[in-house]
Structure 1
């Protein structure tokens, strides 16, 4: 009886001891080594929520959008990450780490600071990318580029998490020109993308010009401005009353080689002018133009192509 009682007491102590160990393991703050490995694991898994929870400071609104959307659309995340060295100092702990990015082992170092029992990312843990889009000349084309799922500005550095990113000239579908860029913390990357217009760009531009030409040729009391229409009604009429148009051929769009200007030529339009002659009579005259043309500039803003006639 006594032996049984002793065994029972010992078992009770063992259970209590195991429970205490489990409670301590669950409640103790993570070590800096744990936090470093957690960050690298999240980076490898593409787990932005886990990474974001570890970030100590926020970027401005546009930079946050680019960071988040670009990572969501990465071609590939880092692989086989590992901690190389951990070096604590007074304000932060520097972590030297590496991972495979596009098949090459690259630096993905970062720093952590103790924020009341949790470890927060700090220091230069982000990569830097600057993209310039060109179209056969040294002059930049457009103001934006796609990085992953983010529309980012060209000609300036954007901050991104280490990963491999698809980069594409904007607007997608209207401009060709793309690259896959591996980014790490071992140096800022600057790339140039050669872009050219797609057949879809010509079709989209022609559609917009067709609509513009239709607006130009609505019945009007005067000759419409910025429409490429030259109607010599003053040779026959002292006062113009109205103009009515019939379009036989809409001008056909052609882009310049530098994609910065356009010319739409070969249009045919017939204008019928009604007004008062120098003799005071009401009369109608018809004028035909076989060289109707529209010219102007092309700009790429954000993910849009804009044509301006002038």
Structure 2
């Protein structure tokens, strides 16, 4: 238990400081990629894989790890690249991750190291990259480009989530929300933004969306520049944690330390899972936290929050 608490304490030192730890890895070739360490459960040499009939080609099989049966996704194939050759699988590595309440492994050809970085040095993909790009961010390390992959986009294609609010939940929505102030959704993943917007509009809410914490903070300062209360313009904020330029923790901390924005209700809504979240949320002062992505749970929680007013 002491070891777990020490780990929590070490990791939470990054919270609110706009910093992250990236695990660097390679697929095929020399290009370096990164993934947030918070999403990584462990890294291990590729275990024995058992094939799954009728599965997508990018799912190379399942592995039995610590009592769990975990799908192993060829990350190179998932981003429309070449498959890792069968003869190289035995010498490759698997990054075990937890996203959106699911555990999966990503097959990679090599793992490099962990680096501590500032989110201000993590930039959105180039605007000309197109909608089909599998990146949420890019950065430079030792004068080399590091690409941060949009894992939520990959998982939405490998194992799509149900994005619709059920009729059972919709039947509980007895209030006319057409006159409610907009909900501000903040997420760097286009897939995640689409999922949340679809969920919130299903219960009659208007939605504003921004791609990262800096854009969101600029928007909030803009609507209050005339001296009006932020709650006159936005009913609540639902923000991801991992975002380039300014992460969700830093967005919360900046808002809660600003007299003009501190009354705004902010929920962190993230695919990050594990034992660290409670300590992180308490440190930055967020009003609520929810793990992605259940449309029914999100719709019910938002209705409950807004109905308190």
Shorter-normalised TM-score: what interval? under 0.3
Query: Greater CA radius of gyration, 1 or 2?
Result: 1
- Determine which structure has greater relative contact order: mean sequence separation of CA pairs < 8 Å that are 6+ residues apart, divided by chain length: 2
- TM-score under structure 1 length normalisation: 0.24
- TM-score under structure 2 length normalisation: 0.24
